[in-house]
Amino acid sequence: MWVLGIESSCDETAAAVLDADGRVRADVVHSQDALHARYGGVVPELASREHLARIRPVVSAALQEAGIGLEGLQGIAVTRGPGLVGSLLVGLSFAKSLALVYDLPLVGVNHLEGHLMAPFIEQGPPDFPLIGLIVSGGHTSLYLATAFGEYRCLGSTRDDAAGEAFDKVAKLMGLGYPGGARIDGLSLTGNPAAIRFPRGMMARGGDDFSFSGLKTAVLTYLQRDHGQTPPEDLAASFQAAVVEVLVHKTMSAARRHRVPRVVVSGGVSANTGLRAAFERACQEAGMELFIPPRRFCTDNAVMIAWAGRQRLLMGQRDPLELTVSARLRL
């Protein structure tokens, strides 16, 4: 089953094509980072307008890359939530019109399921059960997955998402937006033990997270520091605090539920320190670890096509009345 995937939930316009064997034939992402950078965050109105301008060329580019026409497809998968209403609407409306005109089966995909399944794009469906950590700019949640489509949310952030904390701290440090990857880069040569930042809700809150206290601690530190601490040390110390909490909570959930495999996905899973810490922790605990290759960590349409294709293969179809759901849960 050849499937076209479309993703437009936030500030990436993306389209991808999977072939009859589930192999990636096209992966096109138009990032709006440059557009939103000067505002220090995503401006919803600008995002939807940009999606509207980009959706056709992005989908055309993906089909061209795959060397297939719309008539050669057997299905369309599109993100229906969670995300920004206006952004989601552009992708869903476009997908619906293609499905109608070319008489193709349509399936709506939960963006978070896309992230969770991203490590399996190139290696085939996972074994269950698994513990999944989704860490991105908009989400930080822990899940227990017992089968494809069967997810229980164990805990979430009570304030900022981990990626949001990275971006806010990067902004405080004058690194621009989005700054997660820049903090990652600086951390490579910094001392993670230079400053002992608070580990939010490390010993309480169950499987919930909190990162706003850490962000405030960095702000307070910077106000007193007067540029004394090297940015590398500051970045590495902040990153170490985020990583320690994420690893600790995920591993303790896996132990508690006696689950031998861990999935870490979403934009922040591209982080070098996080990847290394999870590799170490899973090796010590004798657990299997699945993290997507970096290009599938941040928002893309391949993960949407992949999750949608699984659903289409299971016989799932959505009607053309399908609507977006900005607060869709997994």
Asked if 136 interacts with Zn ion (CB under 5 A), we say yes
Complex with Zn ion: residue 27 or 299, whichever CB lies closer: 299
Contact (CB, 8 A) for 86 and 47: yes
Contact (CB, 8 A) for 259 and 152: no
Asked if 270 interacts with ligand KG4 (CB under 6 A), we say yes
105, 129, 180, 308: residue in contact with ligand KG4 (rule CB under 6 A): 180
Query: What letter does residue 294 receive in the DSSP assignment?
Result: G
Query: How many residues contact ligand KG4, by CB under 6 A?
Result: 18
Q: Which does 184 bind (CB under 5 to 8 A by kind): Zn ion, ligand KG4, none?
A: ligand KG4
Q: How far apart are CA 206 and CA 203, in angstroms?
A: 8
Cα Dmax for the chain: 63
Asked if 136 interacts with ligand KG4 (CB under 6 A), we say yes
120, 151, 166, 290: residue in contact with ligand KG4 (rule CB under 6 A): 166
Hey, what are 163's tokens? 């990626």
Bin 30: left if φ > 0, else alpha if -120 < ψ < 50, else beta: beta
φ, ψ for residue 2, nearest 5 deg: -80, 130
299, 300, 308, 309: residue in contact with Zn ion (rule CB under 5 A): 299
Stretch that binds ligand KG4, among 17-25, 59-67, 161-169, 214-222 (CB under 6 A): 161-169
What is the closest distance, in whole angstroms, from the C-beta atom of residue 111 to ligand KG4 in the complex?
7
Radius of gyration of the chain (CA): 20
Nearest to 94 by CA among 7, 18, 1, 35: 7
Stretch that binds ligand KG4, among 122-130, 175-183, 201-209, 252-260 (CB under 6 A): 175-183
Residue numbers at the binding site for ligand KG4 (CB under 6 A): 10, 136-138, 163, 166-167, 178, 180-181, 184, 266-268, 270-271, 298-299
